[in-house]
Amino acid sequence: MNDNDYMPPEVWTWDSESGGKWAGVNRPIAGPTHEKVLPVGDKPLQLYSLGTPNGVKITVMLEELLADGKTDAAYDLHIIDIGEGEQFGSDFVKLNPNSKIPVLLDQSKSPAQSIFESCAILYYLAEKYGTLLPADEADRMECLSWLFWLFWQESSASFLGGGFGHFYKYAPYPMEYPINRYTMETKRQLDVLDRHLTEREYMCASGYSIADIAIWAWYGRLAMGEVYAAAEFLDTASYQHVLRWAQAIRAREAVQKGLATAL
């Protein structure tokens, strides 16, 4: 069947074999599929994650905190293999009912506090350690506006990850309409970033922040060809300011450690 042959049914039913690479773990229902106890280390912070763009955000943030002398930001990383469905284990679902990585467990609090969704974790850590989030009200709101662009990105990156990335990289066969649709939106978002970074070193006037970490993990790495191997297809070389910004962040020692840890 090609795209032109498809007609939506009156009532959609789940075809577990129709999801391409992720057919084995994608499903239309929530909750645990199996019992599994999560490992817990002795560091103050426990991170349950993987080296996806959303996972990279948190390992980079934690390495930035450690580089800044925040020794109580020491963490244990526990890999959650989403390809094997480990995000549906009973203990993981208790920490995040949405069954998505990353999840952070802060053991320095009693009882331990869990935080899920990558941008919420970034904000939590920035607040907890008083860094990478401007104190000035106007600068702070600019940073949060771009973070919520990642809360813009939490919505917008769904076009990039669940949309463009899925249909360009992981779908069972190439489909022209969704690839064109999501490519157009991805390039529009890259253009938003490129125009914004024309006269700025980082996303916010106040300097490097959690907004850069969050956006870079998706869009910076996409521009450098590290996500979906789509740099040529998207002509990311034409977004010169995005590339300059992305490469500058990639050169940071803490970012390199965060990447090496997560991948």
All domains of the chain, ordered by start, with CATH?
137-262 (1.20.1050.10)
Structure tokens at 42: 């002795």
Tell me the average pLDDT of the chain: 91
> Average pLDDT of 47-55?
96
Q: What is the pLDDT of residue 246?
A: 98
Measured CA distances, 2 to 134, 174, 210 (Å): 51, 10, 43
pLDDT beyond 80 at 154: no
Local confidence band at 2 (pLDDT 50, 70, 90 cut-offs): low
Residue 253 has pLDDT above 70, yes or no: yes
Q: From its phi and psi, is residue 142 left (phi > 0), alpha (psi between -120 and 50) or beta? A: alpha
The 45-49 sheet, strands edge to edge: 75-79, 45-49, 103-106, 113-116
pLDDT grade for 28, boundaries at 50, 70 and 90: confident
pLDDT (tens digit per residue) in 126-146: 999 999 999 999 999 999 988
Residue, of 210 and 161, whose pLDDT is higher:
210
Q: pLDDT confidence of 196, banded at 50, 70, 90?
A: very high
Spatial separation of the C-alpha atoms in residues 15 and 102, rounded to whole Å: 27
Between 257 and 28, name the one with better pLDDT: 257
List alpha helices for the chain, DSSP H: 53-67, 90-95, 118-129, 137-147, 153-158, 176-196, 210-215, 221-223, 231-234, 240-250, 253-262
104 has pLDDT over 90? yes
Model confidence over 5-25: pLDDT tens digits?
Answer: 778 789 888 876 666 777 667
- Name the pTM for this structure: 0.92
- Give the pLDDT score at 11: 86
209, 122 in Cβ contact below 8 A? Answer: no
Residue type, 131: T
Binned at pLDDT 50, 70 and 90, residue 103 comes out as very high
Dist CA 214 CA 69 (whole Å): 21
Mean pLDDT, range 174-203, rounded to an integer: 93
What the block records as the tokens of 97 is 């009912």
pLDDT confidence of residue 114: 97
Q: What residue type is 190 in one-letter code?
A: L
> Where is pLDDT greater, at 1 or 253?
253
Q: Is the peptide bond before 111 cis (omega within 30 degrees of 0)?
A: yes
| pLDDT computed for residue 27 by the predictor | 82
pLDDT number for residue 155: 57
The pLDDT score that the predictor gives to residue 16 is 63
